[in-house]
Amino acid sequence: MGNIDLITIILIGANALISYKGFNDYSFFEKYKLQVGPINRGEKLRLVSSGFLHANTQHLLFNMLSLYFFADVVLGNLGSIKFLIIYFGSLVLGSLLSVYFHKNEYNYSAVGASGAVSGIIYSAILLQPGMKLMFFLVPIPIPAYIFGVGYLLYSIYGMKKQLGNIGHDAHFGGAVGGYLITLILSPWLFSTNLFMVVLLAIPILILFLLKKTGNM
pLDDT digits (tens, 9 = 90+) for 34-45: 999 999 999 999
Is the confidence at residue 161, as pLDDT, over 60? yes
Quick one: what percent of the chain has pLDDT higher than 70? Answer: 88
Span 6-212: which CATH code?
1.20.1540.10
The confidence score (pLDDT) of residue 195 equals 86
Give residue limits of the domains in the chain.
6-212
Q: What is the mean pLDDT of residues 64-87?
A: 94
pLDDT at 145: 78
* Long-range contacts at 6-15 (CB < 8 A, ≥ 24 apart): 7/71, 7/75, 7/80, 7/83, 7/84, 8/67, 8/68, 8/71, 8/72, 8/75, 11/67, 11/71, 11/87, 12/64, 12/67, 12/68, 14/52, 15/52, 15/54, 15/60, 15/63, 15/64, 15/113
* pLDDT at residue 81, as a whole number: 96
